[in-house]
A = this chain, B = another copy of it.
Amino acid sequence: MDEITFAVLGTGGIGRRALEVSQHKETLTPVAACDRRGIALDADGLDVDELLAATEGNIDNEVATDGGAGTAAVDGDGGGNEDGGDGVKQHGEDRGVVASDQARPSEDPIGEIVDRGDRIDAVLLALPNYEHDFIPRTADRFVEGGYSGVLIDVLKRSRVIDMLDDRRAAFEDAGITFVCGAGATPGLLTGAAALAAQSFVEVESVDIWWGVGLKSGYEDNRGTVREDIAHLPEYDIETARDLSADEIERLIDERDGVLEFEDMEHADDVLLERAGVCDAEDVTVGGILDVRDDEKPTTTTVRVTGTTFDGETATNVFQLGDETSMAANVNGPALGYLKAGVRRNRAGEYGVVGPAELMPGF
């Protein structure tokens, strides 16, 4: 497979770690990274070390509240509010990617990436999604700008898949392959479920149970934590977005830093159904997030129970080592699925696919 060039939209925790992990992957060259205020471009490959060193202390944690069609703002996945109240770790003059020598301010960073789209094989949308149409609307900009290539996100919400599906014909016409939900979960874990399902002719249930310990990564991943809060029974994506930083801290305090989720609305179900593994209703997702400890509060486990062709019922199990961080489990798979998406795209397969559909024709 030839060299792959890619861009990262959003330089929060996920965007920056994706750049870092890409350094370990052969054939992947990051040529652009942007946030809502600036952009770094280098067709020969960004100096990732410099970019990370310059931006680690200058994360732009503001939420992109809107921008309307054509002006969608680009945020990191940092979280926080429009007033910048979180002020996480900022200690430089410039916030966000412009702190890097390779970057400059931009009025329209997404537009600049779209304009260079013919030299970019894939675009990783490492964006938050407090408004659940934010990523679909960003995709619209790439369609409108004549981009053809791979778009890939690491989202979790089922309803976003539907919004992307509504755009399937537009993606196909444009020559875009949209890979959705390509992080740790749904990404890695639905991939594992699709693989584990191979022993069976009928899958009865897929149980996904995750543990994340996020003490040292908490500040970097406030956006992810906020999105997780939206999965708590008392909240939804809108009410979670409207929480102030203080309210989030209080909510976490009340729970001693531990948030437990059962029966989450999580795209794993629809993505496994799309891949033909099982019905969406046979998938359950839950987990425990501890923001005050780096040790995982529980072991991330995928259990696939099914019936074999010879009539036996059994459960295949996939478990992640407790020492693997969320960042490790998000970004390795995301880049792997990115490469798989580029292969599909080059073979002329366009539209919307989930990670489990990228597994060998299972």
Contact = CB atoms under 8 A, between A and B. Distances in A.
19 contacts: A20-B309, A188-B198, A191-B195, A196-B318, A198-B336, A199-B320, A199-B324, A199-B329, A200-B328, A308-B325, A310-B327, A310-B328, A313-B323, A314-B323, A314-B324, A339-B360, A347-B348, A358-B360, A359-B360
Contacts of A339: 360-362
A217 B158 CA distance: 43
Nearest 4 A/B pairs, CB to CB: A339-B361, A314-B321, A340-B360, A347-B347
A317 interface: yes
A201 B323 CA distance: 14
B319 A317 contact: yes
Contacts of A21: 201, 309
Contacts of A338: 361
A329 B200 CA distance: 8
A196 B17 CA distance: 19
A351 B122 CA distance: 26
Interface in A314-355: 314-325, 327-329, 331-333, 336-340, 342-343, 346-348, 355
B332 A199 contact: yes
A199 B327 CA distance: 9
Given A195-B192, A321-B315, A361 B1 contact: yes
A276 interface: yes
A336 B308 contact: no
Grouping DSSP codes into helix (H, G, I), strand (E, B) and loop, the A interface class, with mixed when no group exceeds half, is mixed
A191 B310 CA distance: 23
Given A198-B188, A360-B340, A361-B343, A276 B26 contact: yes
Copies of the chain in the assembly: 2
Contacts of A188: 195, 198-199
A93 interface: no
A242 to B, nearest CB: 32
Nearest to A317: B319
Contacts of A319: 316-319
A312 interface: yes
Interface in A80-94: none
Contacts of A321: 199, 305, 314-317
Contacts of A315: 321
A210 to B, nearest CB: 13
B347 A200 contact: no
A312 B195 CA distance: 26
Nearest to A27: B361
A175 to B, nearest CB: 15
A309 B324 contact: no
B327 A309 contact: yes
A361 B340 contact: yes
A192 B198 CA distance: 11
A315 B309 CA distance: 31
- Residue from A328, A347, A348 having most chain B Cβ neighbours under 10 A: A328
Contacts of A202: 24
Interface string A45-80: 000000000000000000000000000000000000
A333 B195 CA distance: 8
Nearest to A361: B339
A103 to B, nearest CB: 23
Given A21-B201, A24-B201, A318-B196, A328 B308 contact: yes
B327 A316 contact: no
